[in-house]
Structure 1
Amino acid sequence: MEPARTTTLAPVTMVLLTITVTTLRLPSKSPGVCSGRGYCSPPVLKKYGPFGAGGGNYFSDVAQDSPVDKMLFWGGSWQDSCQFGAGNYTSPRYPTAGGGQRYFALQKDETFTSVTMYSGGYFNALVAQTSFGRSYSSSGATNGNTFTYNLLQGETIYGFFGYIGGYVYSLGFYVQQLGTGCICNPPYYGPTCNLFNCFGKNFGDPTVCSSGGNCTAADTCVCNPGYSGRNCEIFYCSNRLNNATSACSGRLAGTCASPDNCVCNPGYTGTNCEIYYCNNQLYNTTGVCGSRGTCVAPYYSSAGLCVCPDGYGGPKCDIYGGTNLISVFPVIATTQNAVTYSTCCSSAPCSTPTCYPDYRYFGPYPDPQQVLWEHPPNNGLGYHNIALNRNYLWFSAQVSTGNKNTGSNFAAYVYLDGALAYTSGTITS
């Protein structure tokens, strides 16, 4: 590779001036720029200088389409002394130009990294040889005052101008600053327009396309087997749509998490969450509720409950309470301030109930279609009654005040004819 060249002219007493230039190549203008989804923002041409003394004739050499690879100089003789790493190399001496024009030329794999201008006619340049990763610089005068200008990152030299005569009087340069980056075509974004979303989620998000496919382009999901829909949001469990109320034996039993994959709630099991137990026995086993009651599916609990016919109660419907006993069964308390239920009948008649923890007693009420819910004394106060229809099955209840006395509000989740319902009211004495 031909080394850099330095021109040495007749000494002139002038102020020493230094210009340092850092350059970068323009990005490719190929279709792959900005990932093919946008375009580079327009570059801006700037002018710096000229720097140096006055006099001479004005010249301008500006490249229009690419960074400059040579620099125009005037007259004198050429002699280069270049340094490579720790060693030295001296180029041949060029003949005297006699005031004619000469160029400082770069090789194809070189770029300007710094330029030093001495207004007395001296010129030094530092170039980078990119293919070998090394650099070399010309020698020259280093004494005197200097002026240094560093180009911004993203700028490159696009031309030189100044005043020349018997030597270079002054020197300036044109630089082209790259634009701010890629201007992306919607809906793409990112520094190189390489990012896009599928329905509000980045294409690399593990939950994109409903976790059931791959986001291959903006709002374009390629679904995995078993998934369908624009966002791969449609799939089935046992031929039931994933968000259908009947999927996985109903929402109380489980959730259809992926194709034919039911995630069962506590108390349920089976491929379709169709299996549950009462008293550690399968719900449809003979005698599971003493051959009298019905095993009701769990409601956010670890087991089902036995619903007993009038006159019977207990976990297996094995407690007889006579005609005054309407129903006895466990109650699941789901909140810290849930009422403590502790009364039931162990024998008929039910004139003096015997207390059993975690059981609830329904007693007689003037209206045959209504029964009483009782909760125990609190702070010395007596029992308080709430009237409910007989076909309500309570699974949780809560009183909204700490004392649970007359006038307190209550709320409960209940089963009404096999369907989950909600009721609320006010405690009466």
Structure 2
Amino acid sequence: MTASENPGVLRLDAQGVQIWRAGQKPVSIDEVAEGLRAHCIFAVPADRARLTQIEVRSDEHRHLKKSLPFMLEDEVIDPVESMHFSYAPIDDSHYLVALTSHAEMTSWLERLGDQFEGPFFHEALLLPWQPGEVCAVVEAHSVLLRWGEHQGARVEYDLLAPLMDALPAPPEAVIVYGGDQERDLALLPNLSQERAQWRQGDFGTALMLVDSAQGFIDMRQGVFAPSLPLRRWWQKWKPLTIALLVAVVLQVASDMAQYWRLKESNIALRTAIEASYRKANPQGALVDAEKQLDRQIAEYAVGAKGLMFTRVLDRIGRAVSMGGELTLSNINYSDNTGEVRLDLLAPTYDEIEALRERFAAGGMEAILETSSQRGVQVRARLRVTL
């Protein structure tokens, strides 16, 4: 077995919570920085938690969480409602189960504090082990023992020998860690003493040979599973979050200020547009100055006949103005037909005929639609075709 790097292990003893590291003496948790505790695991006391194995049919796997307490009801003394069951698969049909009481789990979590987020591993399974071996750490008044990949416990001195004799097969080697070789080996039965290898050391010494890659069963399951480390995340992201909120507030304030400036500019622009429109059209309702003005200007643009009203008006005006006695009382222009109707007042019919001749000379056809004598004046209506 080769030495491997291991995390810190938190254990409970008479002095309180101690941190054990491979090859080192234990240190009180109060003497260790809080950041180092986050990378520790908790060693569940082997005399307060039990390990067992069960066989599960393939159709029962999905319901194991609910059925497990009833499957082990005959193997525990306390009511199953007060027990905490955690499990992990060994193979397709076997599961390793670790059980203890709800009260014990609650007590351990309170002792470790809210900041602890590490796993709970059974104490005995933290010892190094190889097939055919038994590993034992002799401590004050009891022995921490591991005799299988998923088997281990803590027993008192006088129960160690009977337990060793009760193993299914005699071990090929017994690795014993302790401080007094003669006393420690005397605890073993005769056959085990012959195969024992005593080593000076304690739990920390044994941790030097633990294979960190082996699979452990984490007892923090169900209601005792660690919650998300929101507090730690908040401390980490707090400065960035505050900076982001400040940036958002400043951006919103800037956008609001810009909005009000643009709103004031828009009001001033609309006022200027209305004033400009009223210069061109002082009368009438104002709804949309731009559209209304565009429609009014469009009336003077080139129409369907390719004529522009202003040019038509200029040609007719020149012809009418040449007759000094003529008065133009009304003019009506139709772009669709290209015709202009004129209502005129003249002193005689000769003036009307002279106007028709001027229209003809200018390339326009003028037809007299109506005429009447009113006192000393003649009233006539002409239809001019362009």
Q: Which has the higher helix share?
A: 2
Q: Which has the larger radius of gyration?
A: 2
Tell whether the structures are fold-level matches, with TM greater than 0.5.
no
**TM-score with structure 1 length normalisation?**
0.27
Bigger relative contact order (CA 8 A; separation at least 6): 2
